Amino acid sequence: MSSEVDWVLNQLTSVVDSVATDYSIKHPDGTTSDVALKRVDRDNSRIYEGSETVDMSAPVRSRSGELQSGIFAGAESADVSQSPIGTEFDLDVERVVSLRVEGLHHSEWGHVDPDGDAGVPWDELKTRIRSALYSGRTYPDTDRPQTGYTHLLLTNETDLSSEYSDFFDWRVDVAFDGVEDLH
Amino acid sequence: MAETSVTIEFNLEFVTDPIGAVLDIAVPDAPSDAARQALLDNVESTMVGSRDNLVSQTVQRAHGRLERYAQRADDYNVEPLIESFDGVDATRDRTSIHAEWSWSHEAFRFMEFGTSDHTVDGDPVLVFEFDAGEYPYLDEMFPDGTAFLPQSDVSGLPESRAVRSSLNWLRREVGQ
């Protein structure tokens, strides 16, 4: 896993905790449990902090069983761009991590509920994810040697949820911008 | 004379219906209207006016990425998608420049975001011509080259990210 993917998933820890604290789901037998946000490293299809594998490129419709266990936030490396700066051995660098968040409506026993009674409202989840990523906006520290990031930007936000009746699908690019020192 | 700093506001949005982009560049404050118009002239030329302007380079990048993607993904024919490019629509008012561009082909979104394996149902049957060399099992069933089937299973497409990558490039070019 790239350190940028790792950084994005790690940054979502606060959202994992806050949605579990603030929202719960109702099971068919009437019991309740916390809303779960599961983080997936899509570069190798693994659940973050676990050994369970998940293939998020599989069709969302065939994964409703999986989405009954939680909302999935999957990050993968998408683009790298480097261009030389001046005459020194420095490069302008940008790495893009694409984040895809998928959920299932509570009427299908998923973890999303627009009313917040039996799941987390989708827009509220997106807001929390955005602010979790932006709260580390200054100099994201990703342990990549010789690279210093100066800022990050969320771009190309797309919500494809309206194409489905019970599924939620939101995508956003996280662009890390900085300088790589080639000395 | 006091120094005045001029701010250029740049906003680039990815849109999906149809797939494309909306770009807004504004100069809200300037020391004089003449200075602002001179600056907007310059920006307009760089972004949309001049030969090889940044927006047309962005579109070329999206097309290039789509072509490379098509070669990897089973030589899919993306020419109709590229030809569905509707051009750049740019307008200018006293303080800003607005430009938008998009692709009208309805299959474009499937390549941008990818699709899952799915079944296409006929109404009541699907009728299509096929290449006998490529589909020998169809050739056996329909030796005259036209297939009649109640439904067909279609494999999914990977995500191309052609337009989103081109917009990330444009953002870098303008230094945002």
3 state SS for A105-172: EHHHCCCECCCCCCCECHHHHHHHHHHHHHCCCCCCCCCCCCEEEEEEEEEEEEECHHHCCCEEEEEE
Contacts of B114 in chain A (CB under 8 A): 57
Which residues in chain B have Cβ-Cβ distances shorter than 8 Å to A83? 172
Please report the number of interchain residue pairs, chain A to chain B, with beta-carbon separation below 8 angstroms.
49
Note whether B101 and B32 are same-domain residues: yes
d(CA B98, CA A93): 28
- What's the pTM value of the predicted model, to 2 decimals? 0.81
pLDDT over 70 at B23, yes or no: yes
Whether residue B54 is found in the same domain as residue B126? no
- Which carries the bigger pLDDT value, residue B155 or residue B59? B59
Which of A66, A155, A177 would you mutate first to test chain B, the one with the most B CBs within 10 A? A155
What is the model's pLDDT at position A182?
Answer: 73
Confidence band of A20 (pLDDT split at 50, 70, 90) = very high
Q: Does B3 map to a domain?
A: no
Same domain, B88 and B133: no
B136 and B62 in one domain? no
- Coil, helix or strand for A99? strand
Spatial contact of A153 and A134, defined as CB atoms under 8 Å apart: no
Give the pLDDT confidence of A37-86 residue by residue, as tens digits: 999 998 887 888 766 777 777 767 777 888 999 999 999 999 888 777 77
Give mean pLDDT, residues B140-158.
Answer: 74
DSSP-H helix ranges across chain B: 33-44, 54-72, 79-83, 108-113, 136-141, 162-173
* Partner-chain contact A79 B156, CB within 8 Å: no
Residue B136 located in a structural domain: yes
Shared-domain flag, residues B83 and B145: no
Same domain, B19 and B55: yes
Residue B176 confidence (pLDDT) above 60: no
Contact across the interface for B168 and A62, Cβ inside 8 Å: no
CA distance, residue A60 to nearest chain B CA (Å):
8
Same structural domain, B63 and B17 = yes
Q: ipTM score of the complex?
A: 0.81
Residue A144 is which amino acid? R
Select from B114, B117, B168 the Cβ nearest to the Cβ of A155. B168
Mean pLDDT of chain B: 86
What is the band of B157 on the pLDDT scale with cuts at 50, 70, 90? Answer: confident
Whether residues B41 and B125 share a domain: the answer is: no
B1, pLDDT greater than 70:
no
pLDDT, one tens digit per residue, over A98-149 is 999 999 999 999 999 999 999 999 999 999 999 999 986 566 677 777 888 8
In this structure, the answer to whether residues B111 and B122 fall within a common structural domain is no
A96 neighbourhood in chain B, CB within 8 Å:
165, 168
Q: In this model, does residue B148 exceed pLDDT 90?
A: no
Q: Within this chain, do residues B135 and B166 fall inside the same structural domain, yes or no?
A: no
Pairing of strands A32-34, A90-104: unpaired
pLDDT at residue A133, as a whole number: 93
Subunit contact B176:A153, Cβ cutoff 8 A = yes
Contacts B161 to A, Cβ<8 Å: 78-79, 98
Q: Inspect the interface and report whether the beta carbons of A156 and B156 lie closer than 8 Å.
A: no
- Predicted local distance difference test score (pLDDT) of residue B155: 63
Return the SS3 of A21. helix
Rounded mean pLDDT, B33-57:
93
Both B63 and B96 in one domain: the answer is: yes
**Which residues in chain A (55-94) have CB-CB distances under 8 A to chain B?**
57-62, 78-79, 81, 83, 92, 94
- Its domain, for residue B124, covers 118-154
Number of domains in chain B: 2
Is the confidence at residue B120, as pLDDT, over 70?
Answer: no
Within-domain flag for B47: yes
